[in-house]
Amino acid sequence: MTTTKALLIGRRRGLAVTMVLGFALVVALSLAVAVVAEQANLPTAAAVTDRIVPLLVFYAPAPLAAVGAYARCGGPACLAVGVVPAVVFVALVLVGTVFGVPGVGGGDASLGGVTMSFALVGVSGAFVGYCAGVTAVLLADLAGIENGGE
């Protein structure tokens, strides 16, 4: 498969699915731990919510998409990484609302507005990361550096 087709469509479907689902699992677990720690009034709640959750939600999609592009997982998988935090957030809010978990309801802000904000930030970061990964692949091809999958 040519480099362009591998970068756009992807040729490592298993790795792409693992990347997206693994990231979703990590985000879901970190958000669940933050909610449980907050409800239990644990001292680690501030550390989890103030450091790990924003790192995963806002900053992790870009480097993950760059690695996915370099591994030739394809554009759709790399951009899907950016949508993961928004989808996990909506799922958490819906589950929290249905089961009546205190502090996990819709709140004052519109659920759609917050979700779209998360999705826009995530997809923007994932797009920048994807472009960086594609650039790295093309530069490596020009330099004659062998990529493990090619």
Give dist(CA 119, CA 85) in Å, integer. Answer: 7
The whole-number pLDDT of residue 139 equals: 87
Give dist(CA 125, CA 110) in Å, integer. Answer: 23
The whole-number pLDDT of residue 39 equals: 78
The whole-number pLDDT of residue 5 equals: 65
The whole-number pLDDT of residue 80 equals: 92
**Is the Cβ–Cβ distance between 10 and 69 less than 8 Å?**
no
Of 58, 36, 78, 63, the C-alpha closest to 119 is 58
Regions of the chain short of the pLDDT cut 50: 1, 150
Q: Which amino acid is at 35?
A: V
Look up the pTM and report it: 0.82
SS3 of 107, please? coil
